[in-house]
Amino acid sequence: MSNSTSEPKEQFVHSVFESIAPKYDMMNDIISFRRHKAWRKFTMNKMSMSPGDTAIDLCCGTCDWTISMAEASGGQIVGLDFSENMLEFGRRKVNERGLHDRISLVQGNAMELPFEDNAFQYATIGFGLRNVPDLRQVLREMQRVVKPGGMVVCLELSKPTWQPFKGIYYFYFEKMMPQLGKLFAKRYEQYKWLPDSLAVFPGRDELAQIFTEIGLKKVQAYPLMGGIAALHIGVKETPYV
């Protein structure tokens, strides 16, 4: 994707998340039918972190997943987001839990991570991949910064394929959710963005294929709640000695 097309998207998405930061956690409950915490727990079980493991959490938002990883491994975790307002809410949570010595929060671009190659055991992105200008570039960056044998992990909304749930799902996302955003967060246009972004996002099998195409191995894709969301995991290849 060229800069001429990616920059307007980047600017708009930035404005969306700067503006909805105060209501972000509440709206996550609405968007996911209050299942996002259960999905994250399932993801953490699949990741199976070991004591001392490090991770970078891209598009970390208000840092719920960042905090979960710090508590699970006790290792150093980096949370990265391009919205300072989101990071400010995340910073409060980190401090409330006394995790400021384990978690570093960085304002930065997921397309150009300010970290060396092979720096982390895990690179994660939760409900953020559909909002980036070039998802392949972000996945390549995630792959670059994990160590050989490390995991690239994406938890994201997806597209159910079976009726009648598919029809109900799209009615909810396209018609009801923007109205809920207007009601609860006083933001209609920002929540209209969510179904629009999902419409052009790859389905579960297509995203798994992209993981494979960029060179990740042992790719696994798990549908969640009838396909309303999906977990994708890929492993960075260990070079032969």
Tokens of 208: 């798994």
Mean pLDDT over residues 170-180, rounded?
A: 62
Of residues 233 and 23, which shows the higher confidence score? 233
Q: What does the mean pLDDT of the chain come to? A: 84
Does position 186 have pLDDT exceeding 60, yes or no? no
Q: Are 109 and 195 in contact (CB under 8 A)?
A: no
- Rounded Cα–Cα distance for residues 43 and 58 (Å): 15
Does position 190 have pLDDT exceeding 90, yes or no? no
Does position 202 have pLDDT exceeding 60, yes or no? yes
What pTM did the predictor assign?
0.82
Could you write out the DSSP letters of every residue in 168-237? HHHHIIIIIHHHHHHHHHS-HHHHHHHHHHHHTS--HHHHHHHHHHTT-EEEEEEEETTTTEEEEEEEPP
Give pLDDT, residue 11.
Answer: 73
Bridge partners, 124 (sequence order): 57, 153
Please report, rounded to a whole number, the percentage of residues in the chain having pLDDT higher than 90.
61
Q: Torsions phi, psi of 218, nearest 5?
A: 50, 45
Tokens of 224: 């969640």
Q: Torsions phi, psi of 98, nearest 5?
A: 65, 35
Give pLDDT, residue 1.
Answer: 36
Give the model confidence (pLDDT) of 37-91 as tens digits.
899 999 999 999 999 999 999 999 999 999 999 999 999 999 999 999 999 999 9
Give pLDDT, residue 228.
Answer: 85
What's the one-letter identity of residue 7?
E
Give the model confidence (pLDDT) of 89-137 as tens digits.
999 999 999 999 999 999 999 999 999 999 999 999 999 998 899 999 9
Give pLDDT, residue 106.
Answer: 98
